[in-house]
Structure 1
Amino acid sequence: MSIKRIEPGKRMSGAVVHGNTVYLAGQVGEGATVAEQSKAALAEVDRLLAAAGSNKSKILQTIIYLADMSTFAEMNAVWEGWIDPENPPARATSGAPLATRDYKVEFIVTAAI
């Protein structure tokens, strides 16, 4: 089975396709709030899924890291407005320190092609 790397870089690829599955690198976004960063990061998820030949209706699993769990409801409001309500994925959310203090949320997505 072949492996296709989308937007490969020095440390990681934006996404990796193996068989009928696409694995996205953790996606973060710009903005001052969790809501702004969530919207930007999920737009990147949309873009990378499209580059792999997939879309949010085919997401299998999402892992979400929040720098501050008190922002859970704020992130969920964006998530619920973005996700395909007919095809919700398996999901976990956890609090964790992120790569920089500027990042408030990170989304890790696995989807079918």
Structure 2
Amino acid sequence: MIRRYGVGKRLSEMVTYHGFLYLAGQVAADPSADVKGQTEQILKQIDELLEEGGATKKGILTATIYLADINTFAQMNEAWDAWVPEGNPPARATVEAKLAKPEYKVEIQITACNGMSSHGHGHDHNH
């Protein structure tokens, strides 16, 4: 069953299906912060969405990180490295991109799983 969270006209903040969690690109709620600060805010928002979907950051499969300026890579990584679960980093790509608003310096999109094939009904093996 497809479930949508934070549904707006244009997008949902998260869509879950068969134990997979697909998050919209997350940007900082307070974009006046620097790159490290924006990254910390985004990672906290990701933690909250994962919790809502029954997952933890250990279940993150992929992450795509968009930076308005690739020269801020080290600042973003300061926050990321402090947050990413040791021994369980996701597959990741980081690219420079023009973001939706000039004050946004970082956007992160992830896909995760909660370890359950069918929202906790372990008897569904017909994928």
TM-score range normalised by the length of the shorter chain = over 0.9
Q: CA RMSD in A?
A: 0.7
Question: Any residues of structure 2 matched to 1:85-104 within 5 Å, and which?
Answer: 85-104=86-105
2:11 aligned with 1:12: yes
2:28 aligned with 1:25: no
1:69 is matched with 70
The normalised TM-score by structure 2 is 0.86
1:43 is matched with 44
Other structure's SS at 1:77 match: helix
1:10-57 CA-partner distances (Å, limit 9, x unpaired): 111110001110000000112331011000011100000100011101
TM-aligned CA deviation for residue 7 of structure 1:
1.2
Q: Distance in 1 between matches of 2:76 and 2:48?
A: 19
Q: Could you tell me the percent identity over the aligned residues?
A: 46
1:52-72 CA-partner distances (Å, limit 9, x unpaired): 011101000000000000000
Q: Distance in 1 between matches of 2:45 and 2:10?
A: 18
User: How many residue pairs end up in the alignment?
Assistant: 112
List gaps (5 residues or longer) in structure 2.
115-127
Q: Distance in 2 between matches of 1:33 and 1:69?
A: 14
Runs (4+) off by over 3 Å:
none
Which structure's CA Rg is the greater one? 2
